[in-house]
Amino acid sequence: MKELTNFKAINDYCSSVRRYLHQHPELSFHEDQTAAFICGELKKLGIDGTSVADTGVYAVFDSGIPGPTVVIRADIDALPLQEEADLPYASKVPGVMHACGHDGHVAILLGLGKILAENPPQKLKGKVGLLFQPAEECPPGGAVKVIASGILDGADYILGSHLTNRLPLGQVGIRPGSLMAAVDCFKIEITGKGGHGSSPHLCIDPIITGAHLVNAWQTIVSRRIDPLQPVVLSTGTFHAGTNFNIIPAGATITGSVRCLSETIRAEVESEFRQITETVCRADKTSARIDYTPGYPVLHCEPDLVQKIRKAVDASLGANTVIQMPPVMLSEDFAYYGQAAPSAFFFIGARNEAKGFIQENHHPRFDFDEEALVVGVKAYLAILQAE
């Protein structure tokens, strides 16, 4: 008879993996050392990892018993951000930081791999694909490359999760249907006619058009889309001009659009183009519109979500799982829904008493590492669920 898993040891292992990766963060599609580290850890477990999507790693654990193939994805990249916290395991790479918790995602998946290899649960059937995906933070992202590689062909379902300080330690957040937003980005280059600031009538002022546009776009949200459909349109940059007394010849504006439905997504783009062209015509300017699709809506298969709820509550305690509202953040995990039924969940990591309160992408982001073993236990429970 096999020994029961020592979760204290698994937690220590996950924590040590996470701290190593936290000190050695790498940017999207540059995760070479991270991938080598993951392959090294898998090798210690007797599992062969193969390269996928340039700097990702894929490994399969086969229980030897007929059953489904379940793929579990962890993203592995860090962000271009200077870490500000004075931690013993702070980033050793200037200007690069694991500020989204992907170091923790790798730790959870390696912790799970360790249990599967050393002490596989007796109820486990089929195969488990351990997918360490590169470049989540950099659209078009690593997921499309993973799917294009064909390694997911034949997968019965695909799971993923994200650590978050929006939920307290010990809680797991799910949602059937739309969980995370689609994101598109835009860049508008307005062309007018420059000249002296004292003679606007002899110029065509692109700044006026830009100001009109920034306001007019908000009427898409407030006046053109069903108010029960969430849409966020944010202008991120507005650049024009060189001096206080010159009307510039051009202006450039960038921004992002997020929503929770693919139908609304198409509607917003159409309205955006129409408003931009109409405002420019009225102002006698012209505009070049770049409207680039980013990640799609992250849709969670309701049957899978129900399975997660039942399995995790049974394993970690009733009411561990809560149904959360959708979030307007985006994730390239959303693409996996095109490859197989998929579901994503959030793992609570907030602990006010220990100061783990910052949002992901904050230069002082850190999380309670006890959440790592919560993630491992959640996946173990789901893998064994009927």
CA 167, 171, 175, 179 dihedral sign is: positive
Closest to Zn ion by CB, 106 or 251: 106
List the beta bridge partners of residue 303: none
Shortest Cβ 365–Zn ion spacing (Å)? 10
d(CA 82, CA 79): 9
Active-site residue flag, 77: yes
- Residue 59 neighbours by CB under 8 Å, 6+ apart: 42, 47, 48, 49, 50, 113, 129, 130
R_g (Cα) of the chain, nearest Å: 24
Active-site residue flag, 136: yes
Site size toward Zn ion (CB under 5 A) is 1
What DSSP string runs through 6-43?
A: -HHHHHHHHHHHHHHHHHS---TT--HHHHHHHHHHHH
Closest to Zn ion by CB, 24 or 361: 361
Tell me which stretch binds Zn ion (CB under 5 A): 25-33, 92-100, 203-211, 364-372: 92-100
109 binds Zn ion (CB under 5 A): no
Strands 195-196 and 246-247: antiparallel
Tell me which stretch binds Zn ion (CB under 5 A): 26-34, 53-61, 95-103, 373-381: 95-103
List the beta bridge partners of residue 188: 253, 289
> Residues 100, 109, 143, 311: which binds Zn ion (CB under 5 A)?
100
Which residue type sits at 164? T
Closest to Zn ion by CB, 175 or 307: 175
What's CA 54's distance to the chain center, in Å?
19
Tell me which stretch binds Zn ion (CB under 5 A): 100-108, 226-234, 239-247, 378-386: 100-108
Shortest Cβ 148–Zn ion spacing (Å)? 21
Q: Catalytic one among 136, 283, 366, 369? A: 136
Shortest Cβ 163–Zn ion spacing (Å)? 8
Shortest Cβ 330–Zn ion spacing (Å)? 9
Contact 291, 276 (CB under 8 A): no
Q: Which residue is nearest to Zn ion (CB)?
A: 100
Closest CA to 165 of 375, 358, 378: 358
Residue numbers of the site for Zn ion (CB under 5 A)? Answer: 100
Tell me the catalytic residues.
77, 136
